[in-house]
Amino acid sequence: MPEGEPSVHVKRAAIPTGPMLPAARAGALSMIQDEDVRMEDLAGLIRADPGLSLVLLRAANSAASASRRRIEEPRDALVRIGLQASKQVLAGAVVSEAFQNLSDCGVDEEAFWAHSFAVAVITESNVTTPRLRPVAFSAGLLHDVGRLVLGASIPGVYETLSQKARTAPMVLGAETALFGEDHAKAGGRLLRMWGVPHQIAEVVGRHHEPATNDLEEALALARSVVAQLGYDDGLGVHLATEAPEVEMAPEAVRKVREKVAWYQSACVTARNGTQGTALWTQAG
Over residues 224-282, the pLDDT tens digits come to: 899 888 888 777 666 666 666 777 888 999 999 999 988 888 887 433 344 433 322 22
- Between CA 177 and CA 184, with CA 179 as vertex, the angle to 5 degrees is 95
Of residues 76, 112, 120, 123, the one with CA closest to residue 232: 112
Domains and CATH numbers, the chain: 21-98+276-284 (no CATH), 101-246 (1.10.3210.10)
Distances from the Cα of 212 to the Cαs of 215, 241, 266, in angstroms? 8, 14, 34
Q: Is 210 helix (H, G, I), strand (E, B) or coil?
A: coil
Residue 198: count of CB within 10 angstroms of its CB: 11
Residue 17 has pLDDT above 80, yes or no: no
**How many helices (DSSP H) and strands (DSSP E) are in the chain?**
14, 0
What pTM did the predictor assign?
Answer: 0.84
- Mean pLDDT score, 141-146: 93
Quote the distance between the C-alpha of residue 257 and its chain's center: 15
- Mean pLDDT, the chain, whole residue set: 80
- What single DSSP character describes residue 213? S
**E strand spans, the chain:** none
- Mean pLDDT score, 100-121: 83
pLDDT digits (tens, 9 = 90+) for 80-91: 888 888 999 999
